[in-house]
Structure 1
Amino acid sequence: MSEDVQEFWNSRFGREEYIYGTTPNTFLASSIHHFPPQTKVLCLAEGEGRNALLLCQQGYQVHAVDLSTEGKAKAERLAAQHQVSLTYEISDLNDYDYGENRWDAIVSIFAHIDSASRANIYPKAIASLKEGGIFLLESYHPRQLEYGTGGPKDVDMLVTLENLRAQLGSLQVLHEAELERDVTEGTFHTGSAFVTQLIVRKGE
């Protein structure tokens, strides 16, 4: 685990406010109908728990992973406030044991990682999906650097559909888009942005 990266996120999440808000990502909220109902979902780089909360409230068995202990504390507090429970592990996504045939859906919302890490993480994530399982991603696109309304400043951590196709392999595409949209999620994601969206299904 990168101690510098963990320290960065602990400092950011250590504030009293939920810096990305407590309202779930709108792309995820509008796409849950693709998930097998009330099944096991893994949330990558879940942070403060807003997306995990939505899934818990919809009856899913939610397992979150992130390297920030501060993020975990806030996610667990948010879940307790809404009287739901989730499992939350502290791990670098590169080192996490995804398992095989384990998850019905995997969610990656603004989980920005460099290209070398994506090449390591995404194949393991897909292998851990059950047949018929869903992988859903929204990330900032390289064009987001022109907008300056959130996200990494390193282009290697921003993704295109072409990047994703190379790293995820051959899967059934349910939705794919590169588009401009309003992203209003707390203090750090606010305003017009350019994003990449992908929903794919394994097998079947």
Structure 2
Amino acid sequence: MLESGIIMLVIILCVNIVYVSLLTVRMIFTLKGKRYIAATVGVFEITVYTLGLGLVLENLDQIQNLIAYALGFGLGVISGMKIEEKLAIGYITVNIISSNPDIPFTESLREKGYGVTSWYAYGMEGDRLAMQVLTPRKYELMLYETIKEIDPKAFIIAYEPRQIFGGFWVKKVRGSRLKREEEKIQSE
């Protein structure tokens, strides 16, 4: 009897981890406008959800099942966030303000494959170089490291654009040079 109760707890826990992970992935695809992928994930999500909820409702008199369900939900949130980090779907726009406009910042970023738009600005402490960089999200951390190597005092703001039309990325790169840069870093 005890053994079957423990198996039930593990099943409920695992089912809810899978359910919430799928929910997170579906929401990501929905927000990215990938409706058919989101719908497909949704089919599996609701199937797993119904199964897990059914197991809990059949045994509602046992508090440990409800606890396992709640724990599975929490662990599913963490799992879903990890999956989202690995998927890294879409692009990120990074605004950079260099502390020194004389640093060859724009050229250094372009050599590494980033599309950079730059202009001179004036800040509280004098002249600055302002830049805007668009990059695939999977290269976001690599970009931050590159920025810090070039100018450790740079001011950085990042956000995720909803729509992208035209320009350097759409026409040319789409990450090919960045991919080579990433492979070079990984081989070192």
* Fold agreement, TM-score > 0.5: no
Over alpha carbons, which structure has the higher Rg? 2
TM-score by length of 1: 0.24
Bigger fraction of residues in strand: 1
Q: Which has the higher helix share?
A: 2
